[in-house]
């Protein structure tokens, strides 16, 4: 099956959850987007617009912020954050997402305002306390070791730093054919994960139909 056909089958919910075909569908469309058919979608991921707006609103960015984004995908949130902040950075493990985000944010990269890295978010390539705020949208459900990831985010944030996480609610219709591949958490569990990772405060709100967690370093 070629990638286009695989995506068609996956979107139609015809692949058996857990099968090699299903896992490849999840990888190329979302977990590590790749190829024209899988990655091209992230040029303009309209269905993520609401989560982008929620994340940016919860971040309350100021020009003095140093912003880092985990799993940046096509780079749209970075582009918007750079309308306010002077400096930003981001990490994603997909080479195709790195290429898209570089293309979208070429001016900021050339100007030395944005650093984009290809890598795994379980190990962040930045020093302790390097950023004042961080965000991660539509990706936490793929993170295999959430405790290790959150501790890394906490580590690179400065005192009083804040972190905004947008992720899937269990059983939401929006999870679509990807649902069997997504790790979801009860609000109390997610809050505990954030506190255990060293955040001093954490709240989780599901009123938008997505899970919005806001955590702060004291
Ligand atoms: C569904 S996409 C969301 C992209 C973007 N944040 C958005 O909301 O449109 C998930 C992203 O997480 C990235 N990702 C998943 N697991 C990762 C990991 N362990 N380390 C780095 N990036 C990861 C994927 O490459 C992909 O770009």
pTM for this predicted structure: 0.97
Indicate if the pLDDT at residue 23 is higher than 90.
yes
Task: From 7, 89, 122, 139, give the residue whose CB has the most ligand 1 atoms within 8 Å, as the site to mutate.
Answer: 139
Residue nearest to atom 15 of ligand 1 (CA): 31
Specify whether 28 is located in the same domain as 51: no
Ligand 1 site residues, Cβ closer than 6 angstroms:
30-33, 45, 48, 71-73, 92-94, 97, 120-121, 137-139, 142-143
**Residue range of the domain that includes 8:** 3-42
> Strands of 114-118's sheet, edge to edge?
114-118, 87-92, 66-70, 131-137, 157-167, 211-216, 201-205
| Ligand 1 center–CA 80 separation, angstroms | 18
For 130-160, how does the pLDDT look when each residue is reduced to its tens digit (9 = 90+)? 999 999 999 999 999 999 999 999 999 999 9
Distance (angstroms) between ligand 1 centre and the Cα of 217 equals 24
In a shared domain, residues 210 and 142: yes
Closest-CA residue to 86 (of 105, 108, 55, 70):
108
* Same domain as 191, residue 98: yes
Q: With CA atoms as reference, report the closest residue to 161 among 31, 62, 19.
A: 62
Do residues 89 and 7 share a domain?
no
Other CB atoms within 10 A of residue 69 CB? 26
Q: What pLDDT digit, counting tens, does each position of 155-172 carry?
A: 999 999 999 999 999 877
d(CA 15, CA 9): 6
Q: Work out the pLDDT band at 94, boundaries 50, 70, 90.
A: very high
The CATH number of the domain where 79 resides is what? Answer: 3.40.50.150
Domains identified in the chain, total number: 2
* 106 has pLDDT over 80: yes
């Amino acid at each position: 099956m070629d990638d286009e056909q695989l995506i068609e089958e996956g979107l139609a919910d015809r692949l058996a959850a857990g099968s090699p075909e299903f896992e490849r569908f999840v990888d190329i469309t979302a977990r590590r987007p790749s190829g024209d058919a899988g990655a091209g979608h992230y040029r303009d991921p309209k269905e993520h617009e609401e989560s982008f707006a929620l994340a940016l609103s919860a971040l309350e960015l100021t020009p003095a912020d140093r912003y880092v984004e985990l799993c940046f995908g096509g780079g749209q949130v970075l582009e918007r954050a750079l309308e306010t902040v002077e400096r930003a950075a981001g990490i994603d493990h997909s080479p195709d997402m790195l290429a898209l985000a570089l293309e979208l944010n070429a001016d900021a990269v050339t100007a030395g305002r944005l650093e984009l890295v290809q890598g795994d978010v379980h190990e962040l390539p930045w020093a302790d306390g390097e950023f004042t705020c961080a965000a991660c949208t539509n990706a936490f459900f793929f993170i295999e070791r959430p405790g290790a990831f959150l501790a890394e985010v906490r580590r690179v944030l400065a005192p009083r730093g804040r972190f905004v996480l947008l992720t899937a609610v269990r059983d939401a219709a929006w999870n679509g054919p990807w649902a069997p591949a997504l790790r979801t958490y009860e609000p109390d569990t997610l809050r505990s994960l954030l506190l255990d990772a060293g955040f001093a405060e954490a709240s989780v709100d599901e009123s938008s139909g997505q899970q919005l967690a806001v955590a702060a370093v004291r």
